[in-house]
């Protein structure tokens, strides 16, 4: 089979790393890919939103399966365009990807189908929203309706801060059109867990659980980032909780989407919080998480191509998806200054040495390759994943990798996998 993967971050590198293990795969292309991905796939210089060029490439190269890793093209309807051209593609259609693309949509879905989540109100007028926050007790949670690179959520500690946040979103349009509509939510507390699942529109198969560290610095200090590291499994996600989630959240969501005429086929990501009143949905994503994919996929035993095809063909109920009984930890090596200003172009050393280490994978997120050398080329540069029998072993392994792979102004958290 020939496969095209759309995207170019650490998540796509992990997807390609796993697809490559399938005996069914002859060749993988990645658009646009990155320096490290070019070792495992042929990178093609087409952007993820250039649907016509991607379709033309897939037809020309007789691609058997296209896998879309990123949210933007999915929410923009890339799957519909590929299907209209008779091409096989893994990911939700536009009318299902809206579960991530619009928070107003997902909140309404949860309300209608009684899926536990934070209470909320939706506003598209600044003055009305302002009047509402002036009646609320802080902390006040503001969410831009649309995609905002994971930065569209503000937790405001006072009414003044909330009014300022609303102004930024609705009037100054800091997140573009994403913020013209705003969801204001009840503030919830408790540990968070991410459960990704494979869906074929009818059946939902949860993957092993994971937990993300979103803040830039140790002990959850500093700004929110795309994710500084992850670990799997989560320590709080017991089999009993998993069973309740299946009954109250996972199946009801997939059934609700089908009932609404929006069957979800692809990876549905449940961002959950274990509150004193039970597990609640914080957010849905319509794709693998980044860097959740970097800890979940290394634990997958079953052929990923077979699973993706079952999602497309609606035969997931006939699959027995197997996972390793182990643990994985991914530590992100970022450029100093990320998520704000940072520099690029520093040489990365130690990659050869790391590639000889067992139970260690180096997934490239923001790198470029020139004359056989690798250079930093983004905020999140690498994801170093260690595996082991226990989380403690996996943590040790991941940090042994971090010690080896180096570049100037390298920044990473020292506490990945340790919390809760």
Q: Which of 10, 165, 252, 271 binds ligand AMP (CB under 6 A)?
A: 271
362, 36 contact by CB (below 8 A): yes
Q: Which of 72, 145, 185, 200 binds ligand AMP (CB under 6 A)?
A: 185
292 binds ligand GLY per the rule CB under 6 A: yes
Q: Please enumerate in sequence order all residues whose Cβ is within 8 A of that of 352, keeping only pairs 6 or more positions apart, or say none.
A: none
Task: Mark 145-164 with x for binding to ligand AMP (rule: CB under 6 A) and - for no binding.
Answer: -----x--x-x---------
Determine, following the binding rule CB under 6 A, whether residue 220 of this chain makes contact with ligand AMP: no
Q: Does 12 bind ligand AMP (CB under 6 A)?
A: no
- For the chain, the distance separating the N- and C-terminal CA atoms, rounded to the nearest angstrom, is 42
Residue from 117, 232, 285, 367 in contact with ligand GLY (CB under 6 A): 285
- Cβ-closest residue to ligand AMP? 283
Interaction partner, residue 34 (ligand GLY, ligand AMP, none; CB < 5-8 Å by kind): none
Q: CB-wise, 57 or 187, nearer to ligand AMP?
A: 187
Q: Is 319 in the site for ligand AMP (CB under 6 A)?
A: no
Q: Which two tokens stand for residue 296?
A: 């979940």
What CA–CA distance (Å, rounded) separates 42 from 52? 19
Q: How far is CA 130 from the centre of its chain?
A: 32
Give the residue with the Cβ less far from ligand AMP, 214 or 410.
214
| By the rule CB under 6 A, 290 interacts with ligand GLY | yes
**Which residue, 285 or 335, has its beta carbon nearer to ligand GLY?**
285
Of residues 105-134, those binding ligand AMP (CB under 6 A): 118
27 versus 214: smaller Cβ distance to ligand GLY:
214
Neighbours of 246 (CB within 10 A): 15
Rounded CA-CA distance 400/386 in Å is 9
The reply on whether position 188 binds ligand AMP by CB under 6 A is: yes
> Cα separation of 204 and 272, whole Å?
16
How far, CA to CA in Å, does 126 sit from each of 26, 123, 154, 246?
54, 8, 16, 38
Binding test (CB under 6 A) with ligand AMP, winner from 161, 192, 393, 406: 192
Distance separating alpha carbons of residues 80 and 78, to the nearest angstrom: 6
Residues 366-385 that bind ligand AMP (CB under 6 A): none
Contact 33, 43 (CB under 8 A): yes
Q: Any contact of residue 7 with ligand GLY (CB under 6 A)?
A: no
If binding is defined by CB under 6 A, does position 150 make contact with ligand GLY? yes
With respect to ligand GLY, which residue has the nearer C-beta, 230 or 326?
Answer: 230
Q: How far is CA 316 from CA 108, 201, 258, in A?
A: 27, 9, 15
Q: Does residue number 291 form part of the binding site for ligand AMP (CB under 6 A)?
A: no
Is residue 57 a contact partner of residue 31, using CB atoms and an 8 Å limit?
yes
Q: Cite the beta strand spans of 189-275 per DSSP E.
A: 192-200, 204-206, 211-217, 221-232, 265-275
**Site for ligand AMP, residues 327 to 366, rule: CB under 6 A:** none
Integer Cα distance of 105 and 305 in angstroms = 31
- Asked if 283 touches ligand AMP (CB under 6 A), the answer is yes
Binding site for ligand AMP (CB under 6 A): 118, 141, 150, 153, 155, 185-188, 192, 214, 271, 282-283
Binding site for ligand GLY (CB under 6 A): 150, 212, 227, 285, 289-290, 292
């Amino acid at each position: 089979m020939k496969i095209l993967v759309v995207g170019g971050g650490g998540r796509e590198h992990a997807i390609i790393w796993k697809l490559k293990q399938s005996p069914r795969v002859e060749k993988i292309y990645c658009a646009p890919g990155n320096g490290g991905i070019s070792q495992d796939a042929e990178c093609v210089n087409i952007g993820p939103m250039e649907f016509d060029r991607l379709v033309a490439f897939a037809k020309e190269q007789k691609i058997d399966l296209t896998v879309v890793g990123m949210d933007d093209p999915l929410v923009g309807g890339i799957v519909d365009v590929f299907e209209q051209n008779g091409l096989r593609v893994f990911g939700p259609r536009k009318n299902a990807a809206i579960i991530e693309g619009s928070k107003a949509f997902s909140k309404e879905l949860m309300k209608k189908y009684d899926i536990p989540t934070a209470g909320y109100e939706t506003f598209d007028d600044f003055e009305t929203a302002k009047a509402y926050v002036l009646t609320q007790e802080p902390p006040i949670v503001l969410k831009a309706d649309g995609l905002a690179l994971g930065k569209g959520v503000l937790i405001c500690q006072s009414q003044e801060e909330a009014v300022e946040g609303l102004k930024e979103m609705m009037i100054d349009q800091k997140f573009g059109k994403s913020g013209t509509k705003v969801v204001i939510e009840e503030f919830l507390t408790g540990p968070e867990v991410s459960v990704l699942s494979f869906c074929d529109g009818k059946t939902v198969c949860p993957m092993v659980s994971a937990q993300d560290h979103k803040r830039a610095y140790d002990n959850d200090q500093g700004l929110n980032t795309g994710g500084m590291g992850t670990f799997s499994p989560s320590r709080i996600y017991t089999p009993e909780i998993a069973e309740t989630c299946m009954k109250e959240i996972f199946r009801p969501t997939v059934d609700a989407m089908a009932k609404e005429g929006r069957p979800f086929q692809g990876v549905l990501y449940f961002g959950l919080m274990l509150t004193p009143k039970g597990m609640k949905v914080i957010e849905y994503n319509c794709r693998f998480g980044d860097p959740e994919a970097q800890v979940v996929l290394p634990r997958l035993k079953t052929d990923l191509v077979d699973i993706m095809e079952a999602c497309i063909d609606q035969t997931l109920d006939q699959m027995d998806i197997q996972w390793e009984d182990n643990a994985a930890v991914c530590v992100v090596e970022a450029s100093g200054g990320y998520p704000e200003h940072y520099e690029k172009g520093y040489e990365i050393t130690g990659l050869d040495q790391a590639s000889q280490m067992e139970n260690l994978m180096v997934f490239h997120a923001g790198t470029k390759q020139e004359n056989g050398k690798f250079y930093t080329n983004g905020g999140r540069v690498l994801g170093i994943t260690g595996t082991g029998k226990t989380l403690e072993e996996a943590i040790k392994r991941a940090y042994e990798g971090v010690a080896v792979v180096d570049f100037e102004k390298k920044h990473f958290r020292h506490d990945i996998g340790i919390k809760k």
